A and B are shown apart, each in its own frame.
Chain A
Amino acid sequence: MTGVNDDVPDGIPADVPDGIPDRVSDGVPDGAPGDVPAGVPADVPGRAAAGLPGGGPADVPDGRELLRVEGVTKSFPGVRALDGVDLSLRGGEVHVLLGENGAGKSTLIKMLSGAHRPDQGRILAAPGPEGPDAGPTTEPTRPGTRPGTRPTTKPTRPDAPPDGGLREVHIRSAQDAERLGIATIHQEFTLVPGLTVAENLFLGRQPRTRLGLIDKKTMRTRAAELLRRVRLDVSPDTPVAELGIARLQMVEIAKALSLDARVLIMDEPTAVLTSEEVETLFGIVRELRAAGVGILFITHHLEEIGALGDRVTVLRDGRSVAQVPASTGEDELIRLMVGRDIAEQYPRQRPDRPGPPLLRVRGLTRHGRGTGPVFRDVDFEVRAGEVVGLAGLVGAGRTEVARAVFGVDPYDAGTVEIDGERLARGDVRAAMRAGLGLVPEDRKGQGLVLDASLQDNLTLARLNRDTRGGLVDRGAQRRRAATVAEQLKVRMSGLAQPARTLSGGNQQKIVIGKWLLADTRLLILDEPTRGIDVGAKVEIYQLINELTASGRAVLMISSDLPEVLGMSDRVLVMSQGRLAGELTAEEATQDAVMELALHTAPDTDRARPHETNQDKAPDTDHGNHPDKSAMEGSDVR
């Protein structure tokens, strides 16, 4: 039994004797105590004594404890993902879980949502508020609205210590988690692309008519209400496949809301959102907090912690190393998370004088399907030794331009030149031969062959060059992969390890390493540090420095404004498919970039509907299968 943090009310022993039957009876409708398996206390006496009558948390400053993790340990072959983690979550708080990738956050979350089971330690949860099977309502659950409704089943184990009303639970499946009122918004989307928004929101628990048919009308009404709550302006009948990544995220959030969870776990919900959408999300989270929901919030954006959080638990190498108030300074948080001081978050070393132009793009245009161009008249150049940032709102056309330059997608007009030589259109191999490389925004969906070894992934882009007479020189591949893996300090057990098992930051290093091995001279990085922790971010920035110092160039698309400002030598800003402006590093401030990004094209030579460009253009989801990626990904190193 590992010690519990200071969250246990004084005088209450933290321990519950082992052997207390697990499997709480939360799925049992109230008033049916007979269904409670013998020996399971449906409620634990002593909560009142502890000063925590099941009353509303609103009047208790820091709410009732809803969930507690005690000394949880989890090992995977070769890795100890969690090592004695403690965590406590109260109603009405936003508890930030902070840690580098691979620190164990995802493993912990998966444990709370039923995907993994702890090897040691235990998870305790407050008894359920009511029969959650009663069906979804659109009201957030208030844990305090159920006094007296709970059957005061005679405790069969009168000596059971009260423990703040928590009982040990074994979460074996997503259904168990749901029954306990725990909802999780995973980083990978779990939506079915072929179904509509409404169908996704109520998947598996659609409202029924008396005849047992799905009550489409009710479903649509409730869906519309949920969408209103997340301020998402789409029809409930929109197929999910038509939504961009930011809207998918909001639908996921709406889906979690519909579960009326008491505990809401959000795994990097802001990673794919623009700042405006982040504000919306924060508004929703604050409402939920006010309603007494306990929120476990994961983010890599430190500035979000102070803005939203109440407490922070820091994980490092599978251990919970600290629990601090959210007001803790960023430097201190980084120090706790990384275990050392990080001198500089954006260590860009700008060249004195950039080299000759490497890439020149002229008048690049791609007509969209109906609603105006995907991008239009895009002109820019990237010089050797430069980092050029490409900023703009999600859906401004940045990714599309990058893909067109790299030859993945075609374009309708304009030219792409490398070293003054025109590049064939829509030909990835020609682009690669000319020295281009693309690190795509969807690392798992487009960057890696997840089940292939690190060696195969690292050498994929130079497979043809390692082939002589049809035979691949595996020895050379191994040597090259080993060299670059060492250079990039990839944390791995060996080159034969599947890419899937690496943490996000290390996965990204593999994708970048692939292009280093392909002798890329101009690397296009699309959201290179999305979902990557501070430590790995800095390593990637240093890598960018090394690249440019050796005369190569980087075109970096990023929605992380501080990153764009901190790392770019020049910033290009796109808005609605056009290049809205260019800023030097000195001119580039948050305000200046945002002004250009929100700027609508002044030359209204052709009337186009603008609002559709706010969201993601329809063509950006190539190979991005939300359903597929929902099954993968783990923080396990």
Chain B
Amino acid sequence: MSAELKTGAAAEAVGRAPDQGPGGRRPAEWFSRAVLKNGPLGGLAALVVVMAALSKDFLNGQNLLNVGVQASVTAILAFGVTFVIVSAGIDLSVGSVAALAATVVAWAATGQDLPVWIAVLLGLAVGAGSGLLSGALVAYGKLPAFIATLAMLSVGRGLALVISGGSPIPFPASVSRLGDTLGGWLPVPVLVMIGMGLVAALILARTYAGRAMFAIGGNEEAARLSGIHVKRRKLVIYALSGLFAAVAGIVLAARLTSAQPQAATGYELDAIAAVVIGGASLSGGSGKASGTLIGALILAVLRNGLNLLSVSAFWQQVATGLVIALAVLLDTLRRRSTR
């Protein structure tokens, strides 16, 4: 019962500030305006404030780093998915591709005794290759992206199971450091997340590939008539998504110190949710790496906070769903008010 109440409060708080303390009304207005104006970032700030108010353990350095670690895999996956969604596609395969890439790394390094760097390159290549295949199905096979990547979701998971024989493979120790901390406190996954985020931001804002994504997502025909090789671009877009998924898979396996073929199941939906919470439109043409990061952080803060409040995992799912709906709803309102 208390869990239910708290969950509701947390979900509400994304859009509304707590009405507590003296002069509660004005900060409330300030908050809702801040949320409407700043979109996802305002939502994240409001969520952090609420969690800090509800749980003493939330706002300390160690816990915040934990949040970062929890967000890292989702965020890295989501950066890759951002490319696809900006270009008006969808990638459902990233969770499976992540598991497949990690399995390939572990299999090559542990099973085949290949040098670790070759194993990692192989894993990344498998990730990019899976994306390339999805991209080819979309661009040249003219399959809807939903179907092509749904197929890849199944194929990727299946291959991971085939290669591993269904059981976890120990991850090479040198790569497992990716799951450790630097100096005993700074988690490497957070650094990888920030690094991949910067790369994603650079790609989206400043590279030919990125600008072409926006053009294709905004109006594919206009992009084609302006000399953009849409089909080739799609290959690149899905390959990038697969590459980012491979990185996420390696980070995840490093944290677990083993590649598990069933890892990251369902993560593609978290990744898509993060992108959408971050303000990207599923119809393409808009999206930002920073927004995606915020989206992943919102999901992580929510889970972490609800854990601290001992809300049951079942109710956490409900809360996550509400937050996704609320975030996109707010974003829609925000856009409408500025249009």
Whether, in the assembled complex, A602 has its beta carbon less than 8 Å from a beta carbon of chain B, the answer is: no
Total residues of chain A contacting the partner, CB 8 A: 31
Tell me, in angstroms, the Cα distance from A234 to B139 when the chains sit together.
Answer: 35
Minimal Cβ-Cβ distance residue in A for B205: A474
Given A460-B226, A472-B211, A623 contacting B221 (CB threshold 8 A): yes
B226 near A461 (CB under 8 angstroms)?
yes
List of B residues within 8 angstroms of A536 by Cβ: none
Given A77-B338, A77-B339, A452 contacting B218 (CB threshold 8 A): yes
Instruction: Give residues 199-232 of B contacting A (CB, 8 Å).
Output: 205-212, 214-215, 218-229
List of B residues within 8 angstroms of A408 by Cβ: 224-225
List of B residues within 8 angstroms of A623 by Cβ: 219-222, 224
List of B residues within 8 angstroms of A448 by Cβ: 219, 222
Interface string of A463-493 (1 = CB under 8 A from B): 1100100111010000000000000000000
A452 near B227 (CB under 8 angstroms)?
no
Separation in Å of the B282 CB from the closest CB of chain A?
A: 13
List of A residues within 8 angstroms of B212 by Cβ: 463
A429 near B227 (CB under 8 angstroms)?
yes
Interface string of A424-445 (1 = CB under 8 A from B): 0000110010000010100001
Separation in Å of the B331 CB from the closest CB of chain A?
A: 14
Whether, in the assembled complex, B260 has its beta carbon less than 8 Å from a beta carbon of chain A, the answer is: no
List of B residues within 8 angstroms of A432 by Cβ: 227
A463 near B228 (CB under 8 angstroms)?
yes
Whether, in the assembled complex, B70 has its beta carbon less than 8 Å from a beta carbon of chain A, the answer is: no
Tell me, in angstroms, the Cα distance from A70 to B209 when the chains sit together.
Answer: 51
Separation in Å of the B228 CB from the closest CB of chain A?
A: 7
Instruction: Give residues 385-433 of A contacting B (CB, 8 Å).
Output: 406, 408, 428-429, 432
B211 near A463 (CB under 8 angstroms)?
yes
Whether, in the assembled complex, A567 has its beta carbon less than 8 Å from a beta carbon of chain B, the answer is: no
Within 8 Å by CB of A429, from B221, B229, B338, B339, lies B229
Separation in Å of the A633 CB from the closest CB of chain B?
A: 13
Instruction: Give residues 251-290 of B contacting A (CB, 8 Å).
Output: 285-286
B223 near A447 (CB under 8 angstroms)?
no
List of B residues within 8 angstroms of A467 by Cβ: 207-208
Whether, in the assembled complex, A42 has its beta carbon less than 8 Å from a beta carbon of chain B, the answer is: no
B226 near A450 (CB under 8 angstroms)?
no
A464 near B218 (CB under 8 angstroms)?
no
B222 near A446 (CB under 8 angstroms)?
yes
B214 near A456 (CB under 8 angstroms)?
yes
Tell me, in angstroms, the Cα distance from A385 to B229 when the chains sit together.
Answer: 30
List of A residues within 8 angstroms of B208 by Cβ: 463-464, 467, 470-472
Instruction: Give residues 298-339 of B contacting A (CB, 8 Å).
Output: 338-339
Tell me, in angstroms, the Cα distance from A463 to B205 when the chains sit together.
Answer: 13
Separation in Å of the B312 CB from the closest CB of chain A?
A: 42
B206 near A474 (CB under 8 angstroms)?
yes
Instruction: Give residues 312-344 of A contacting B (CB, 8 Å).
Output: none
Total residues of chain B contacting the partner, CB 8 A: 26
- Chain B contact residues: helix, strand, loop or mixed: helix
Tell me, in angstroms, the Cα distance from A464 to B215 when the chains sit together.
Answer: 13
B221 near A456 (CB under 8 angstroms)?
no
List of B residues within 8 angstroms of A622 by Cβ: 221
Minimal Cβ-Cβ distance residue in A for B212: A463
Separation in Å of the A2 CB from the closest CB of chain B?
A: 27
List of B residues within 8 angstroms of A429 by Cβ: 227, 229
Whether, in the assembled complex, A376 has its beta carbon less than 8 Å from a beta carbon of chain B, the answer is: no
A470 near B207 (CB under 8 angstroms)?
yes
Tell me, in angstroms, the Cα distance from A467 to B225 when the chains sit together.
Answer: 19
Tell me, in angstroms, the Cα distance from A446 to B225 when the chains sit together.
Answer: 7
B222 near A460 (CB under 8 angstroms)?
yes
A438 near B285 (CB under 8 angstroms)?
no
Tell me, in angstroms, the Cα distance from A464 to B211 when the chains sit together.
Answer: 10
Tell me, in angstroms, the Cα distance from A460 to B219 when the chains sit together.
Answer: 12
B338 near A449 (CB under 8 angstroms)?
no
Whether, in the assembled complex, A514 has its beta carbon less than 8 Å from a beta carbon of chain B, the answer is: yes
Separation in Å of the A76 CB from the closest CB of chain B?
A: 8
Minimal Cβ-Cβ distance residue in A for B230: A428
Minimal Cβ-Cβ distance residue in B for A515: B226
Whether, in the assembled complex, A451 has its beta carbon less than 8 Å from a beta carbon of chain B, the answer is: yes
Tell me, in angstroms, the Cα distance from A372 to B143 when the chains sit together.
Answer: 30
Within 8 Å by CB of B225, from A76, A77, A438, A463, lies A438
Within 8 Å by CB of B211, from A406, A446, A451, A456, lies A456
Tell me, in angstroms, the Cα distance from A432 to B225 when the chains sit together.
Answer: 10
List of B residues within 8 angstroms of A451 by Cβ: 218, 285-286
List of B residues within 8 angstroms of A447 by Cβ: 222, 225
Within 8 Å by CB of A428, from B209, B210, B225, B285, lies B225
List of B residues within 8 angstroms of A464 by Cβ: 208, 227
B229 near A449 (CB under 8 angstroms)?
no
Interface string of A132-163 (1 = CB under 8 A from B): 00000000000000000000000000000000
Going nearest first, the 5 A-B pairs with the smallest beta carbon separation are A623-B221, A449-B218, A467-B208, A460-B226, A461-B226
Please, could you name 17 A-B residue pairs with CB atoms under 8 Å apart, sorted by A? A76-B339, A429-B229, A432-B227, A448-B222, A449-B214, A451-B218, A451-B286, A452-B285, A460-B215, A461-B226, A463-B215, A463-B226, A463-B227, A464-B208, A474-B206, A622-B221, A623-B222
Interface residues of A (CB under 8 A from B): 76-77, 406, 408, 428-429, 432, 438, 440, 445-452, 456, 460-461, 463-464, 467, 470-472, 474, 514, 518, 622-623
Knowing that A452-B218, A461-B226 touch, tell me 10 more A-B residue pairs with CB under 8 angstroms: A428-B227, A445-B222, A447-B222, A449-B215, A451-B286, A452-B215, A460-B223, A463-B228, A470-B207, A472-B211
